[in-house]
């Protein structure tokens, strides 16, 4: 297993592989790896001859500095997990200085309004931070394909918009949400859940599934009202938002159109841990 901490090191190896016409797959992560990340890595291994996984906790996408401080950093364990999948993975674990060259600030992006919906309303500057680090990582690794999970569906759509507008030559692959047996979407934050909150958390996906069923016969407003009432009665989970949105524009639905695709998005606090999830509605 090869671990690189400097961009020049990883770029040299990628250059060598590209001269041999080998396809490069890339999975960017913030570490604290779990089976959801490994699912993305396995998809990349199936479709590419060389796979790079980055492990970098990006400071510019945290609007809450306490959240950044608490974010788990488990590089040794992450390397072990990746080795269990393949010993040929190239790991890029840069320092903040290597990514930001001493200027740890976000660029400002225009994502055609995608950045102002849902998460954008609650996390100021978050998507500028995401766009900044993803752009830099794609420029460093220069992959043919890059893999992102649909749990962060808004982020996935924003990265697709970033690549389109910045004309970065890479194919962005969205992979299905990887769930625990009880339905809870896999997240690095799940390990921080206290027992009673972990036991309560599957309620989130169950509610999304019921909302999907109701969406077939009821209006978006009626479904939203039902979800809000369900969470209002819950002892451990506090709803931040539930939104039914157009799957492309991410704008809230006012009236259903049979020719459009919709998704339901939810953000919930389990004690002080913020969990997000979403589901395709049609």
CB atoms near residue 107 (< 10 Å): 12
Could you tell me the strand order of the sheet in which 262-270 lies? 237-246, 262-270, 273-280
Which of 34, 37, 126, 234 is an active site residue? Answer: 37
What contacts 24+ positions apart, CB below 8 Å, involve 189-196?
A: 189/273, 189/274, 189/275, 190/34, 190/275, 191/32, 191/72, 192/70, 192/72, 192/273, 193/270, 193/271, 193/273, 194/271, 196/236
37 part of the active site: yes
Contacts within 8 Å (CB) and 24+ apart, 165-169: 165/109, 165/110, 165/111, 165/112, 166/135, 168/135, 168/138, 168/139
How would you class 71 by CB atoms within 10 Å of its CB: exposed for 0-12, middle for 13-18, buried for 19 or more? middle
Give catalytic residue positions. Answer: 37
């Amino acid at each position: 297993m090869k671990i690189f901490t400097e961009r020049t090191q990883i770029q040299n190896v990628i250059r060598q592989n590209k001269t041999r016409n080998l396809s490069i797959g890339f999975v960017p992560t913030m570490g604290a790896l779990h089976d959801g990340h490994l699912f993305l890595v396995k998809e990349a291994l199936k479709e590419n001859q060389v796979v790079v996984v980055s492990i970098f906790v990006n400071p510019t996408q945290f609007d809450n500095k306490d959240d950044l401080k608490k974010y788990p950093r488990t590089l040794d364990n992450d390397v072990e997990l990746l080795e269990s999948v393949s010993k040929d993975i190239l790991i890029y674990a840069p320092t903040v200085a290597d990514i930001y060259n001493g200027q740890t600030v976000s660029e400002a992006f225009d994502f055609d309004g995608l950045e102002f919906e849902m998460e954008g309303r609650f996390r100021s500057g978050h998507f500028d931070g995401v766009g900044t680090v993803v752009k830099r990582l794609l420029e460093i690794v220069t992959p043919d394909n890059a893999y992102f999970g649909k749990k962060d569906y808004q982020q996935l759509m924003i990265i697709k918009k970033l690549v389109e507008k910045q004309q970065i030559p890479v194919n962005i692959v969205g992979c299905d949400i990887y769930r625990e047996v009880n339905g809870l979407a896999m997240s690095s934050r799940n390990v921080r859940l206290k027992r009673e909150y972990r036991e309560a958390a599957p309620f989130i996906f169950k509610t999304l599934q019921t909302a999907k069923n109701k969406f077939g016969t009821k209006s978006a407003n009626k479904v939203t009202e039902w979800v809000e009432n369900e969470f209002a009665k819950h002892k451990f989970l506090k709803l931040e938002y539930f939104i039914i949105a157009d799957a492309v524009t991410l704008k809230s639905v006012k009236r259903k159109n049979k020719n459009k695709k919709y998704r339901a998005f939810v953000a919930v606090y389990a004690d002080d841990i913020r969990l997000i999830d979403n589901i395709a509605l049609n």
